[in-house]
Structure formats: structure tokens, C-alpha cells
């Protein structure tokens, strides 16, 4: 069964303390892996799409990487405004329109 | 370019009433998706629509829930005879017609509270 698991559930960091969020996936054939950011009371905001193992994408302090079984979202020298829930998602192989979301990692950056 | 728009942002209904949630996709997007997010849970796919067609409704509850995307106007998610368990945030997303990337862009959501 297609599945997406994110860890940790919650992560508290000091401002400037770099770390990584994990997303492991099980899907018959990967048609892309998405990262979203969601702030409280708002809709998910699209960040990245990754398609193949070894691919990397960057945006400001965030870098997403992909292997055959998992993806990492690395955050370098985070700031308090990076606090949010980060969601990972993959389309089902059988129906690319149906995206499966992980339960997210709640990231909190203390000043 | 305006993003995905949803209204109302907050909706309060009493048990047994009907709830109608509206979604206007991004300009140029013809694919619409509805998701439900329960408190402390992840986003769950409900339905995928194109203009005048339901493409995939495998995530929709069999009873009381329906969705449409007419030729003109917004997409509507309709919940009849609401119950307390329907309280959740409902998000709409859209994607362009030839979305080989499968990327979906989300609206701000409608938070439904059933009293």
C-alpha cells in the first residue's frame, strides 16, 4: 500500500541550529515527491518537487534531497519565521491525481 | 495572478444543516481537488474534478457529501445533514490542464464547525 511517513513529529530548534526533516515513502512507482509548508490556519504552500534519486532543490535556507526510499528537507541556520508544519506528499502510482500526504513535522524555531 | 480562493473561510452549522463550500481555482487551472484535514491529522484526498466531470471521488464519504465543478462558476463541496464529525478544515487545490508535474496549489481553506 502506498504510504508516506514523516519524522520527527515535532522538532524544536534554536535559531541558527541546522537540522533535517525526514520523509520516507512506499509507492509502486514514484511520480514525484512534493514538499509543502503549512502555517497555522492557512493552506499548504508549495515548496519543491523532486523526481529522481540524487536530485536536490534549494530555496533560501531550505534544501530538499531525494533517495530511492526517502527525502530529506535540510534547514540551514533557521530563523523564527521558518516555524511551520512541513508536509511531504507523493502521488499514487495508480492515480497521479490522488496525492498522499504525510502527517507532517511541526518545526519550531526559538529566537 | 490570484491564487486559489475559497469561501467562506469559516462556517458554523448546526447538526442537520447543509454546508456549501466554494472554491475558485487559479487562473488557467482546470483541475480541482478537495481535501479534508481533521485536527491533528494529515490532509486526506476527497475528490478530483475537471470542468463538468468528476474524475475520482474515491476519497468522498458515500453519503451526504457531493461535489461539482460546473462549466461556469466555482467548484462546490456540499455536505448535507452535517454531523459533529464533519468539523474540519476543507482545502481546495488546483492544477493546470497539462500538469505533468502533478503539482497542486492550495487555497486558504474553509474551517467548518458543527455545533
Per-residue pLDDT tens over the stretch A32-57: 899 999 999 899 999 999 999 999 99
Indicate if the pLDDT at residue A95 is higher than 80. Answer: no
Cell numbers describing residue A42: 492557512
CA distance A30 to A14: 34
For residue A97, the model assigns a pLDDT of: 72
Grid coordinates representing A78 are: 533557521
| pLDDT for the residue A98 | 80
Task: Identify which has the larger pLDDT, B77 or B1.
Answer: B77
B4, with CB counted inside 10 A (0-12, 13-18, 19+), is buried
Our CA-based measurement puts residue A22 at a distance from the nearest CA of chain B, in whole angstroms, of 16
Any B CB within 8 A of A99 CB: yes
Best of A27, A29, A44, A47 to disrupt the B interface (most B CBs within 10 Å) is A44
Q: Which residues of A touch B35 (CB under 8 A)?
A: 101
d(CA B74, CA B86): 22
Interface contact B42-A31, CB threshold 8 A: no
Find, among A81, A82, A52, A47, the residue nearest to A65 by Cα.
A52
Minimum-distance CB partner of B105 among A46, A87, A89: A46
pLDDT digits (tens, 9 = 90+) for B16-27: 999 999 999 999
Beta carbons of B101 and A36 less than 8 Å apart: no
pLDDT, tens only, B87-111 = 999 999 998 876 555 688 999 999 9
A24, with CB counted inside 10 A (0-12, 13-18, 19+), is middle
Amino acid at each position: 500500500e502506498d504510504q508516506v511517513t514523516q519524522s520527527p513529529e515535532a522538532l524544536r530548534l534554536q535559531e541558527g541550529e541546522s537540522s533535517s526533516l525526514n520523509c520516507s515513502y512506499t509507492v509502486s512507482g514514484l511520480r514525484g515527491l512534493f514538499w509543502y509548508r503549512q502555517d497555522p490556519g492557512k493552506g499548504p504552500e508549495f515548496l519543491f518537487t523532486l523526481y529522481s534519486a540524487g536530485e536536490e532543490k534549494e530555496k533560501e535556507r531550505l534544501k530538499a534531497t531525494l533517495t530511492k526510499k526517502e527525502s530529506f528537507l535540510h534547514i540551514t541556520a533557521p530563523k523564527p519565521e521558518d516555524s511551520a508544519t512541513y508536509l511531504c506528499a507523493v502521488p499514487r502510482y495508480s492515480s497521479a491525481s490522488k496525492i498522499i500526504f504525510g502527517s507532517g513535522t511541526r518545526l519550531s524555531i526559538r529566537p | 495572478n490570484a491564487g486559489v480562493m475559497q469561501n467562506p473561510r469559516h462556517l458554523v452549522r448546526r447538526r442537520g444543516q447543509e454546508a456549501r463550500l466554494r472554491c475558485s481555482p487559479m487562473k488557467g487551472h482546470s483541475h480541482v481537488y478537495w481535501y479534508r484535514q481533521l485536527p491533528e491529522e494529515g490532509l486526506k484526498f476527497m475528490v478530483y474534478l475537471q470542468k463538468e466531470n468528476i474524475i475520482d471521488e474515491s476519497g468522498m464519504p458515500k453519503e451526504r457529501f457531493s461535489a461539482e465543478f460546473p462549466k461556469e462558476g466555482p467548484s462546490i463541496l456540499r455536505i448535507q445533514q452535517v454531523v459533529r464529525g464533519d468539523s474540519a478544515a476543507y482545502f481546495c487545490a488546483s492544477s493546470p490542464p497539462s500538469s505533468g508535474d502533478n503539482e497542486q496549489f492550495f487555497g486558504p481553506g474553509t474551517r467548518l464547525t458543527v455545533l
